[in-house]
Amino acid sequence: MQIKKIKWKSILPGCCSSLKLQDHPETKRLEPPKQCSLQRISLLDIDNPDSQISINDLSSSLVGSNLYSFTLDELRKITNNFSLSNFIGEGGFGAVYKGFINDELRIGLEAQVVAVKVLDLEGSQGHKEWLAEVIFLGQLRHPNLVKLKGYCCENDQRLLVYEYLARGNLDSQLFSRHSITLPWLTRMKIGLEAAKGLAYLHGEYKPVIFRDFKSANILLDADYTAKLSDFGFARDGPGEDKSHITTQHIIGTKGYAAPEYIMTGHLTTMSDVYSFGVVLLELLTGSRSMEKKRPKRDKSLVEWARPFLKDPQKIERVMDPRLEGQYSSQGANVAAMLAYRCLSHHPKSRPTMSTVVQTLEPLINLHDDIPVLSDYSEKKCKEKDDYAMEVEEEKRTKKTSKGHRSRKKGHRHRHHQISYLRSQPVYSDTALYRTKTSSSNSADKQK
């Protein structure tokens, strides 16, 4: 077999400056060759300029991945010239625009909405991160990984074309003022599916370390199906003879990165497990991993919440108050303990992602002990009334002993009680089902 040196032209057809895409308007979909190899091409295989590899191996692994090489003019067309009306958002890579592709753009192309990510040439990411996205997502396939449809590489322009996911990322769904409160079972579903995505990456023949796992990198479709995105910082894991890989630069997001990675630069799959523990904690608490508004010692969500996670009697203190108690107590205890294990300071003490998946799967079916919203509200209102009565009794006692009144305090408590009674209820599939069932039963009895 003849061995040839890798050239960019052979890897990514649209990425060679000497090849003008305008001269090839009928650029076809990249078809797999007749011979296929099961071995995945890694970044290391092409990063080294002295590396040599069989062209057949390269073609079957990357070029046979059903990616489209789009022209810049084509992507301008589907995004209305990257107009503001098509603008979706912006991340570390660059701006993202909504577009629509069909067979009018390219023969045989399935009609669908897509998201076009444009590299910010003055941003913190560049060609290397763009290439990582193409290499990893061009070869990896899993229901909980975002699908890469194609790419564009013209001169210094770098673009990526993904499937469009209607609900954006988990970060905005959890923390945006305008988003609805995610129900408990939806949160556990998202956590489970994100865990499945990571477990798939770690279970590869060549394990992949995501390295920047966070709520902003978990995209959600219309049914809240979770898919991991943004593979620009991903790395191939260590070989069988190594325990870790060492990175020259510490890359990640503050509040999510594992402490041993920050201190030593040693990266393992357990670094991702720690980051997953932070996201799971965000799902439980409804709070960001780092919050400037919290007191100085409590800015880190992990440092604040971790002491409460092991004690079932204290779990309620960290649970998202917007859930208004509508969650499975048993499920919350299991999820909290799992988060505690993932956030261990000792990497070897953390569970594998396959173990995380096995732990979370049963929680989806724990809905019998989720209280109905009305019952919970009545209970809490009674507790508020009892507390208000205690305050009034204390005021009368102080009035008798000290001879003065404390009306402001009593007024403040009454105000809180009114605010609580007016709080907006949280949507819950379980509560809705029970309400409908009880209503139908009452109607039957009346008949």
Instruction: With residue 235 as reference, give the H or E element that holds it.
Output: strand 235-236
Same domain, 349 and 205: yes
Same domain, 147 and 263: no
Domain with 56 in it: what CATH number?
3.30.200.20
Q: How far apart are the C-alpha atoms of 228 and 420, rounded to whole Å?
A: 37
pLDDT at 46: 67
Same domain, 248 and 120: no
- 313: containing domain: 170-365
As annotated, the binding site for ATP includes: 117
**Does a structural domain hold residue 395?**
no
**Does a structural domain hold residue 116?**
yes
pLDDT at 297: 66
Q: Which of 110, 139, 163 is at the close of a domain?
A: 163
58-106 pLDDT, tens per residue? 333 454 567 888 999 999 999 999 999 999 988 888 999 999 998 888 8
pLDDT at 193: 98
CA distances from 356 to 277, 294, 366, 402 (A): 10, 29, 17, 58
Q: Which of 311, 346, 365 is at the close of a domain?
A: 365
**Does a structural domain hold residue 396?**
no
**Does a structural domain hold residue 134?**
yes
Same domain, 112 and 150: yes
Q: Are strands 148-154 and 68-69 parallel, antiparallel or unpaired?
A: parallel
Same domain, 38 and 155: yes
Q: What is the mean pLDDT of residues 148-171?
A: 92
Nearest alpha carbon to residue 425 among 367, 371, 364, 363: 371
Same domain, 185 and 141: no
Q: Which of 163, 186, 216 is at the close of a domain?
A: 163
Nearest alpha carbon to residue 282 among 380, 194, 198, 209: 194
pLDDT at 17: 46
Question: In the structure, what pLDDT confidence band is assigned to residue 5 with cuts at 50, 70 and 90?
Answer: very low
**Does a structural domain hold residue 423?**
no
Same domain, 136 and 204: no
106-119 pLDDT, tens per residue? 888 889 999 999 98
pTM: 0.75
Decide: residue 275, CB within 10 A, 0-12 exposed, 13-18 middle, 19+ buried: buried
**Does a structural domain hold residue 225?**
yes
Report residue 100 as tokens: 């629509």
What are the helix (H) ranges across 7-82?
A: 8-11, 43-47, 55-58, 72-78
Is it the case that residue 126 has pLDDT exceeding 70? yes
**Does a structural domain hold residue 196?**
yes
As annotated, the binding site includes: 117
Q: Are strands 208-209 and 235-236 parallel, antiparallel or unpaired?
A: antiparallel
Domain with 295 in it: what CATH number?
1.10.510.10
Same domain, 99 and 226: no
Q: Of residues 73, 103, 212, 298, which has the active-site annotation?
A: 212
> Which residues are registered as beta bridge partners of 151?
69, 160
Question: In the structure, what pLDDT confidence band is assigned to residue 373 with cuts at 50, 70 and 90?
Answer: low
Question: In the structure, what pLDDT confidence band is assigned to residue 34 with cuts at 50, 70 and 90?
Answer: very low
134-151 pLDDT, tens per residue? 889 988 999 999 999 999
Same domain, 144 and 212: no
Same domain, 86 and 197: no
Same domain, 121 and 198: no
Is it the case that residue 371 has pLDDT exceeding 90? no
**Does a structural domain hold residue 36?**
yes
Same domain, 111 and 208: no
Is it the case that residue 333 has pLDDT exceeding 60? yes
Give catalytic status of residue 156 as yes or no.
Answer: no
Number of domains present in the structure of the chain: 2
